[in-house]
Amino acid sequence: MEYRIAVIPGDGIGPEIIGEAKKVLDRVGEVYGHTFHYEEVLMGGISIDTYGVPLTDEALETARKSDSVLLGAVGGNVGNSRWYDVAPNLRPEAGLLAIRKGLNLFANIRPAFLYNGLEDACPLKKEIIGPGFDMVIVRELTGGLYFGERHTETVNGVRQATDTLVYNENEIRRVAVKAFDIAMKRKKKVTSVDKANVLDSSRLWRQVVAETAKDYPEVTLENMLVDNCAMQLVMNPGQFDVILTENMFGDILSDEASMITGSIGMLSSASLNEGKFGLYEPSHGSAPDIAGKGIANPIATILSAAMMLRFSFDLDKEADAVEQAVREVLACGFRTVDIMAEGMTRVGTEVMGARICERII
């Protein structure tokens, strides 16, 4: 089979980690008889430097015509980067919001899994970790506070800022369906997270999710307030299977969940539309402080590529092979600096990618 992938290396460590993910995909192609065609496009700070905007219409159209998109990372140091001394709609992250909206990528899927051998990297006590945890956070991505009307004005001589949080039932229902579909392939439990004791949008969210749950009688649904969920993630992470929530809550909770795995450099993500099309990226940022040093952890990007094989291309066997290769490399004691521990073998970005490629057979 042949697949067209729009590749967005982005900024910081993006080009380095994308390079290793492409090597892994090419290895999958060699072993399983597939061909992956890559077309590189610019987004983020490098696009600002080249075109003056974080995402051009041409780049968006290239992504739209592909079978999927593989993204490294965008952005830089907010405090000392020329990219941030501009209006918000011209900053690197605006390109990410624009491509999500332009490609109708309304559902963000972020696994949080504690690998064997990385227990010491987890900041939680061993008695809390227990036998480990394996959860997926499904975050609505194109609605809510981040996309609502906003403005800043002066009222009676006082500066005032307004951000609007809006959801309609169709936006809620379609992401709920994604969450329940994923739960059906896992442990059949959905935890819907909201702030229904305060917000009207959350009360509608809870109603629509309950309606959707009726179509999935095998799945257990529980509701949880977002502040309680934040506490439960560090008190008993093993209780969760699929967490479903809105845009801003999901942004915060998915970062919290990623850190209890021991390193955000290990975590993949997918942003999906209503079909098979998706944008796949690591959960971490561009880490400009280590860019070019060859020490970035490429595993999150490699696992994002595995998610692409599974969700966009229906290549489950190939995705399993990549994920198994990652487990084997970690079991053999190879570690990048962010997950390094006593007695392990420290390797750089390229060596980690090569070790994973060797085990795809």
Q: Smallest Cα–Cα separation from 212: which of 173, 263, 255, 251? A: 173
Round to whole Å and give the CA distance between 292 and 288.
Answer: 9
Facing residues of 137 across strands? 110, 243
- State the Cα–Cα distance between residues 361 and 32, nearest whole angstrom: 9
Q: Does this chain's domain 1-111+265-361 share its CATH topology with 123-260?
A: yes
Domain extent listing, the chain: 1-111+265-361, 123-260
Catalytic residue among 227, 289, 316, 320: 227
Q: Is 215 a catalytic residue?
A: no
- pLDDT given for residue 115 in this prediction: 85
pLDDT (0 to 100) of residue 160: 97
Kindly report the pTM of this predicted structure: 0.87
Is 227 marked active-site?
yes
> Measured between alpha carbons, how far is 284 from 73 in angstroms, rounded to an integer?
8
Check 11, 23, 195, 216 and give the catalytic one: 195
Considering the domain 123-260 in this protein, what is its CATH number? Answer: 3.40.718.10
Q: Give the type of residue at 309.
A: L
Is 57 designated active site? no
3-state helix, strand, coil in the chain (%, to 5): 45, 20, 30
- The greatest distance separating any two alpha carbons of the chain, rounded to the nearest whole angstrom, comes to 69
Answer yes or no: 241 catalytic: no
Quickly name the fold that domain 1-111+265-361 has: Isopropylmalate Dehydrogenase (3.40.718)
Catalytic-role residue among 146, 167, 216, 280: 146
Q: Which helix (H) or strand (E) holds 4?
A: strand 2-10
- pLDDT values of the chain reduced to their tens digit, one per residue, 361 residues: 999 999 999 999 999 999 999 999 999 999 999 999 999 999 999 999 999 999 999 999 999 999 999 999 999 887 657 898 888 888 999 999 899 889 999 999 999 988 887 888 788 998 998 888 999 999 999 899 998 999 999 999 999 999 999 999 999 999 999 999 999 989 999 999 999 999 999 999 999 999 999 999 999 999 999 999 999 999 999 999 999 999 999 999 998 998 888 777 788 999 999 888 999 999 888 999 999 999 999 999 999 999 999 999 999 999 999 999 999 999 999 999 988 888 999 999 999 999 999 999 9
114-157 pLDDT, tens per residue?
A: 888 788 878 899 899 888 899 999 999 989 999 899 999 999 99
In eight-state DSSP terms, residue 244 is E
Catalytic residue among 26, 67, 134, 251: 251
What burial letters (b/e) apply to 241-250, b meaning 16+ CB within 10 Å?
A: bbbbbbbbbb
To the nearest 10 degrees (0 to 180), the angle between helices 316-331 and 14-32 is 120
Per-residue model confidence (pLDDT) at position 59: 98
Concerning whether 195 is annotated as a catalytic residue, the answer is yes
